[in-house]
Structure 1
Amino acid sequence: MSLGDALHTRAAPRVVILGGGFSGAIAALHLARGATVPVDIDIVEPRPLLGGGVAYSTPDPQHRINVPAARMSAFSADMGHFDRWLRRSGVLAMDPQALVKGGHIFSSRLEFGRYLDGLLREQAAADGPAHIRHVQRRATSITPIPRDAPPGQSFGYAVALDNGARLVADRVIIATSHPPPSPPPALLHALGDDPRLIANPWAPGALDALAPEARVLVMGSGLTMADILATLSAAGHKGPITVFSRRGLTPRGHALDATELVGDFASRPATTALALLRRVRATVASAEAEGKVWQAVLDAVRRDARAVWQALPLAQQRTLLRHLRPFWDAHRYRIAPQPEATIHELEARGQLAILAASLADIRADANGVHATLRPRRGGPALTRTVDAVVVATGPAHDHLIDAVPALAPLVTAGRLRPDALGLGIAVDGQSRVIDVRGMPDETLWVAGPLARATFGELMGLPQVLIHAEEVARSVALRLPGQTTPEPAKKGVRHRVSA
């Protein structure tokens, strides 16, 4: 069967997955692979590419995966799967720059999206009790279908689509993608709908109108900034570029030859943010004294992140987010070698300046956009007159529930609520949505970053992969008549199709 099949007549429970980016695609793939009874899996995703989402649908070849391909996969038990797929696909012949020192591959992000899409279509065509269907529409609302008992539970869900159609689901997995950046109110007030404000650099063609000599101001210095600079540089941009963020932190590079992790943060984990910081710093110092790199320590923290996060009381989680998160993001979410080299080249030419500063004032007239920046460490204000302002502050996760109108009926019904940290949706340790009474719902799940207030590190591989696999297993075990599937074995090989 193919993903484009029409509605069929088999009497089977239906699982609707809201969002077909990485988390939704992985949940669907592993739910289908783990099901031993008939189940219909509908992935509601308006993009044509399943698994692409915001990150892996970008057509710009300069937008690279930010970890080596050998550390990316659709199968946590076989992390080399994507790397083998790339080497057999012929991608390296078309994109030789993807291969960097040491034989590591940093392909375009679109290739990873194509890889995921191919796996889902292969699974959909395979024999088995699961039926996968791509519903290429946008969900407009998810409404509980009530039943008499138990109170507050539902018989299922009515999922309304933007073409007027409706799906009836027994279970729903919320796997919505990253929301667009949220420009500061002062910026919106000053520029409004002025075309010189590029509020969403991820929008197709967002940077195309910039003249080669345009003066550009980029607000934000993370990985989105790196994408912007890579795109501008490849297009031959010659104008001056100023990047600023409150701390001026930029993504750190990889230590590609470091394979051994250093440190144990899960045994007797720290219970305060300060104790955790001191433990990490001490481990880094000890590692460096032995000639080992800090990346090996931070990767050990990432490995143990769930245990570390869940050992912190809520107040300490808030402290960590307020004071340490920017430093974690800069060191954890590293930059691919290609855009890293681009940034160094732009700085060496004097074309790029990266500042630790905040926006003090901004106004616009016919001569340009005039920004006043307040340096973080004091001193006189800095002024920049530019032709464009690009917002690169990253996804507005704190507004995610509001940014997904389809979730509104669930909020109104008390079936879904934000988590206590403002990171996404409140879920329990199995990723079941917690309602306003504090009760987990056996029919409503979250896969992906929206669950990170409970699980901690859920923004990068392999943590998002492992979490989506866990959600798929949990949902599969609740299918009527389901038998416990045999757990995946390490080192298992999956069929690779070019």
Structure 2
Amino acid sequence: MLSRSGLLPRPQATGSFALDGDLLKCFPKTALGLLQQVRSAIDEVTEKGLPWQSVFDALRHQGQAIWQALPPEGQRRFLRHLCRWFEIHRFRMPPQIKELVVRETATGRLHIRAGRIVSAAYDSQHILIDIATAPHRSIEQARAQWLILATGPDHENAIGHEACLLDLERVGLITKDPHGLGIKCDRENRAVARDGTPVEGLLIAGPLARGTFGELTSVPEIVDQAEKIVERIRQMHFTGTRRMAMRIDAE
């Protein structure tokens, strides 16, 4: 298992526990301030005998408000220095997967490395892989029967993967999110055109809107956004119908 950081998701806590940790009482204005608040909240809950996971579950529910309170530079620093650490604590391993990882690592069948694949070639029996290992980027060679890419969707280049999005970009109706998280939109979910103006009727939903909203990966957050978009479409339709009725009456 190879990744840039070599970090695995942290395990989920056993048993039930309530959310704990109010990170909204003092909005952090920097990535460092956010880190300090999270660490302080974890110290408080662990002193009460609660698992640190309760703080991250609370952070998930408060994540959009915290992200939007950070200035652009604070958001960039979070993505550069804290994002991977947030993800491995936010998206956790269930106990069964943890047991599997521990067992396979102990038997020597599973190796977890930090690095990146430089090249891959195929001979008659194996895939030959050159790996630049962290931290010194020395090149190591490995042989495998399978090479499985599990990095997830390429949000930064999402526009380039879809012909319809490329067409919208060419005419200036959409543009990339400056953080490389998807498509740029405003807080009303409207796509932001190349000239910086919101595009009425062109709405961005789901993880591609993370650059604006922050946490938008799991079902609860996506459902909440979808409900707001449906309500906006309903209002747009009602307004358009009313204007049409007014024009008919005027005629």
**Quick one: distance in 2 between partners of 1:379 and 1:479?**
56
- The residue number in structure 2 matching 1:118 is none
Residues 258, 296 of structure 1: 8 Å contact kept: no
Query: 1:435–1:282: structure 2 CA closer, same or farther, 3 Å change rule?
Result: same
Paired letter, 1:248: G
Query: 1:372–1:441: structure 2 CA closer, same or farther, 3 Å change rule?
Result: closer
- The residue number in structure 2 matching 1:418 is 176
Displacement of 1:450 in angstroms is 1.0
Give a deviation string over 1:460-482, Cα, whole Å, max 9, x none.
13212211111111211222269
Query: 1:441–1:362: structure 2 CA closer, same or farther, 3 Å change rule?
Result: closer
**Quick one: distance in 2 between partners of 1:273 and 1:402?**
30
- The residue number in structure 1 matching 2:237 is 479
**Quick one: distance in 2 between partners of 1:474 and 1:363?**
51
**Quick one: distance in 2 between partners of 1:285 and 1:432?**
40
Query: 1:418–1:350: structure 2 CA closer, same or farther, 3 Å change rule?
Result: same
Displacement of 1:378 in angstroms is 5.1
- The residue number in structure 2 matching 1:459 is 217
Alignment of 1:111-150 (within 5 A): none
**Quick one: distance in 2 between partners of 1:409 and 1:375?**
39
Matching of residue 427 in structure 1 with residue 185 in structure 2: yes
Displacement of 1:317 in angstroms is 1.0
Matching of residue 246 in structure 1 with residue 4 in structure 2: yes
Residues 190, 200 of structure 2: 8 Å contact kept: yes
Query: 1:410–1:383: structure 2 CA closer, same or farther, 3 Å change rule?
Result: closer
Displacement of 1:270 in angstroms is 0.7
Query: 1:334–1:367: structure 2 CA closer, same or farther, 3 Å change rule?
Result: same
Please state which structure has a larger fraction of its residues in strand: 1
| Residue in structure 1 matching 2:21, options 247, 255, 263 | 263
Find the residue that maps to 2:238 and give its secondary structure.
coil
Residues 12, 53 of structure 2: 8 Å contact kept: yes
Give a deviation string over 1:252-289, Cα, whole Å, max 9, x none.
22224343212111222111111111211222122222
Paired letter, 1:306: Q
- The residue number in structure 2 matching 1:322 is 80
Matching of residue 368 in structure 1 with residue 147 in structure 2: no
**Quick one: distance in 1 between partners of 2:177 and 2:135?**
34
Query: 1:450–1:256: structure 2 CA closer, same or farther, 3 Å change rule?
Result: same
Matching of residue 441 in structure 1 with residue 181 in structure 2: no
Relative contact order: is structure 1 or structure 2 higher (C-alpha 8 Å, sep ≥ 6)?
Answer: 1
Residues 121, 127 of structure 2: 8 Å contact kept: yes
Displacement of 1:451 in angstroms is 0.8
Find the residue that maps to 1:325 and give its secondary structure.
helix
Query: 1:481–1:364: structure 2 CA closer, same or farther, 3 Å change rule?
Result: closer
- The residue number in structure 1 matching 2:66 is 308
**Unaligned stretches of 5+ residues in structure 1:** 1-242, 483-498
Paired letter, 1:305: G
Matching of residue 278 in structure 1 with residue 44 in structure 2: no
Give a deviation string over 1:22-73, Cα, whole Å, max 9, x none.
xxxxxxxxxxxxxxxxxxxxxxxxxxxxxxxxxxxxxxxxxxxxxxxxxxxx
Find the residue that maps to 2:237 and give its secondary structure.
coil
Paired letter, 2:192: I
Paired letter, 1:273: A
| Residue in structure 2 matching 1:470, options 209, 212, 228 | 228
**Unaligned stretches of 5+ residues in structure 2:** 241-251
Residues 262, 300 of structure 1: 8 Å contact kept: yes
Residues 357, 373 of structure 1: 8 Å contact kept: yes
Residues 156, 176 of structure 2: 8 Å contact kept: no
| Residue in structure 1 matching 2:46, options 270, 288, 294 | 288
| Residue in structure 2 matching 1:409, options 167, 179, 183 | 167
- The residue number in structure 2 matching 1:390 is 148
Find the residue that maps to 1:398 and give its secondary structure.
coil
Query: 1:435–1:254: structure 2 CA closer, same or farther, 3 Å change rule?
Result: same
**Quick one: distance in 2 between partners of 1:403 and 1:373?**
27
Residues 431, 447 of structure 1: 8 Å contact kept: yes
Residues 356, 375 of structure 1: 8 Å contact kept: yes
Displacement of 1:442 in angstroms is 2.3
Residues 251, 330 of structure 1: 8 Å contact kept: yes
Paired letter, 1:354: I
**Quick one: distance in 2 between partners of 1:412 and 1:481?**
30
**Quick one: distance in 2 between partners of 1:309 and 1:481?**
32
Paired letter, 2:142: R
Q: What's the TM-score once normalised by structure 1's chain length?
A: 0.45
Residues 11, 92 of structure 2: 8 Å contact kept: yes
Query: 1:295–1:412: structure 2 CA closer, same or farther, 3 Å change rule?
Result: same
Percent sequence identity over aligned pairs: 34
Paired letter, 1:461: V
Query: 1:380–1:437: structure 2 CA closer, same or farther, 3 Å change rule?
Result: closer
